[in-house]
Amino acid sequence: MSNFQLPLFGDVNPRSLEEYYEQDIELGGKVVRIDLNFEMVSVSEKKLVALQELLAQLPTLQATAWEAFQQDLATKDTIKQLLRFFLDEKLDKTVLADLLANAKEGNSDEEKLLSAFELKRIGFFPEQENEFVIMDYSLPNNINNYLVVAYLNSKGKVTVVEIED
C-alpha cells in the first residue's frame, strides 16, 4: 500500500506510522488541537479511509457533538450535574456572571453556561471503533479542569457523552 493522503496531515505511510501526529487548526473561529493516535505501526486502508472522511467533516462532527450535548442536557443528568455544580458552587460569581452575560444561546442558566464551552481538542483513534473520535470541550481561559467529552464512532455518530476531570 502506498502513502495515504490525509486532510490536515498530508501523506502518511500506513505501514510505518508514527504513534502521534498533531496540528492546530482554526475551527469556528477558535484554535483547536487535532491529533492522530496509533497503537500499531500499521493500519488498514479501511480505517484510513474512515479517518480521511471524518477529517474532511470537522464542522459536521462539531455540530454532531454539540447536538448530543444539548440532548444530554435535556434528557439526562450527565452534563446537567456538572453545570449545576458550576452554577451553585464551583465558579467564582463574577466569572459566572460574565459567562452567562456573554452566552451565545439558551434560555436557562444551564443552557447559557453550556453555550460557553469551547471545543479544545479532537483526538482520532482509528483502531478504536466506538472511540474513533474524542472531542474535548471546556470553559474558556482554562477556568477549570473539567471537560465535556463526546466519543464518536468511525461513522461519526456519538456513542457516549461524559464528563472528565
Q: Which of the residues in the chain have pLDDT under 70?
A: 1, 105-106
Take residue 131 and report the three cell numbers written for it: 472511540
Q: What pLDDT score does 144 carry?
A: 80
Q: What pLDDT score does 149 carry?
A: 98
Q: What pLDDT score does 31 carry?
A: 96
Distance CA 162, CA 3 (A): 36
Contact between 38 and 31 (Cβ < 8 Å): no
Take residue 74 and report the three cell numbers written for it: 435535556
161 pairs with which residues across the strands? 150
Q: What pLDDT score does 1 carry?
A: 57
Q: What pLDDT score does 94 carry?
A: 84
Residue whose grid cell is 458552587: 89
| pTM for the whole structure | 0.92
